[in-house]
Structure 1
């Protein structure tokens, strides 16, 4: 059975070179530092330094995949490359460099590596073009965060992007970066431990309640981190939809839309993973490790085995279908 990891990252130094010294970068870094706190930044810097080969060199990546029993990876840019503070011209350059950098990285092992580009959420009019550029380079879609400054994913300005993504069959990988709870999460690495699951839940809730999935039923959206907190507290959303007219803004109970989304398996808990499979359906969950970061899982197959799911389509078949992959065997 083919094993496909849909959640793996690459660092692209050329993007950071492009934004260096640009107006807005210093304020962005100051906000990031305030949200995470000094202890988290220090630990993260050392962690990334120790993994730089895995993040940049295809040979190191492939060796680690072999050790973990992974046949194929879907490689996306590190979310630190989003740079949603950038103006239109710089944002277009960032997305171009991301698409070109990922395409060059995965081209070193085209039978085992596939890629995703980036899309500038802060500039809705640029989104369809960025997606087209990524697809033209052979990538499978684009990665986005849970929001852009001043815009939730329910913003009507994104409608042309959702429509274009659905029409092209591209995969949109929803991967949060940064949480607007700010200094409330600036200790104990809560900015990630709590912030990322919150952002997933908020972003997916906006898409569901705003009717985005009603209007674009063909949208191929893959949520990182098992969808965050949303799949495990659906009863409250359904109850609110039933009793609150201001929440009855989608066609069906919110829980029903989980079977129209896709989720990676990165829950860090066998019971949580089994619950995700129960509410979303076994065909909607895909193996994901967050390679090679410390918040990821270096042995994602062990997580499937612990949940009793190692011999299911979650291991790879669902990813082959979603991303239209070739079997490397």
Structure 2
């Protein structure tokens, strides 16, 4: 069984002027600093410094070999989602980045499995783009965990998830667009507390919003960053479902009933956290993830899974690749 990392990102080394392409406000652009270094810019402000591993297939393959990773799922960097734009503009942006993703992955198609992005704010356009991308060679879709104030139980997003189930597209859900405040704008607190909270909230919306009662069991869903803080608080949510059914019990069953309906990645950085994750989700619903190539990702990829003393070899193999193969629909 190959080792499969389901959580990695790409950034192209160049793309067209998105404002000129869409006729809408300025969008992200890339400030090239050298052959190996660049910075994603939002207007005049720096968003993230990146290195050539973000776009250079050879560099990625070298680091994959060093870490013992056979296959990467290569997904968009969420800042490119453009959910705040109009649907048609976001569709143009998605097409641009999705086509560039195929170019980045082309040198090693057996080792790079591209996931597309879609204009999630417009369900019809999102469904059309995921179909176009699957036909072009993408293996699934990455979506943000919300569109403005619309969470995963929004009717339009549910329509898109139902469509993904019908066309067999696995869905990777990534937190993004965390709120800022004076308390969150230091120490990378948006990433250290906001991302786990965003993922927790969206899984809660998926469950308590009744989405998993509406979508078929064939829908393959995986949440980034170990499901955020959700796995730690399943007992609290069950207690609320039973104790305050007047406001909580909008789903047919308590939250713990749905744990076999989605997966999470393994990028939680410590063995005790991984053990909690496996105990909560089960060994069939945790997939190897790293958040490569970003600094808050795990390197070497899979270190915690490989060294976890509580895992038997069969379960370790599931986490390193078997569960991802099932999520991706690989033979």
Q: TM-score range by the shorter chain?
A: 0.7 to 0.9
Contact 2:143 2:174 in 1 (8 A): yes
| Separation (CA, whole Å) in 1 of partners of 2:62 and 2:238 | 45
Residue 319 of structure 1, CA deviation: 0.9
Whether 1:297 aligns to 2:302 is no
What is the DSSP-based 3-state SS (H/G/I as helix, E as strand, rest coil) of the residue aligned with 1:161?
A: helix
Cα distance change on mapping 1:122 and 1:313 into 2, 3 Å = same
Contact 2:19 2:25 in 1 (8 A): no
TM-score (structure 1 length as normaliser): 0.88
**Aligned match of 2:167:** 168
| Separation (CA, whole Å) in 1 of partners of 2:198 and 2:179 | 8
Whether 1:324 aligns to 2:309 is no
**Aligned match of 1:72:** 71
**Aligned match of 2:317:** 312
What is the DSSP-based 3-state SS (H/G/I as helix, E as strand, rest coil) of the residue aligned with 2:274?
A: helix
Contact 1:178 1:195 in 2 (8 A): no
Cα distance change on mapping 1:181 and 1:230 into 2, 3 Å = farther
Whether 1:135 aligns to 2:131 is no
Contact 2:18 2:26 in 1 (8 A): no
The 4+ residue runs of structure 1 with deviation greater than 4 A are 13-16
Whether 1:150 aligns to 2:149 is yes
Whether 1:3 aligns to 2:3 is yes
**Deviation digits for residues 176-216 of structure 1, max 9, x if unmatched?**
11212544311110011111101100111101111111111
Contact 1:173 1:223 in 2 (8 A): yes
Residue 54 of structure 1, CA deviation: 0.3
Whether 1:117 aligns to 2:116 is yes
Higher helix share: 1
| Separation (CA, whole Å) in 1 of partners of 2:221 and 2:181 | 27
Please show how residues 73-222 of structure 1 align to structure 2 within 5 Å: 73-216=72-215, 217-222=217-222
Structure with bigger RCO (C-alpha 8 Å, 6+ apart): 1
Residue 15 of structure 1, CA deviation: 4.9
Residue 26 of structure 1, CA deviation: 7.2
| Separation (CA, whole Å) in 2 of partners of 1:312 and 1:289 | 16
Contact 1:12 1:77 in 2 (8 A): no
Alignment: residue pair count: 308
| Separation (CA, whole Å) in 1 of partners of 2:26 and 2:185 | 20
What is the DSSP-based 3-state SS (H/G/I as helix, E as strand, rest coil) of the residue aligned with 2:272?
A: helix
| Separation (CA, whole Å) in 2 of partners of 1:15 and 1:204 | 33
Residue 139 of structure 1, CA deviation: 1.0
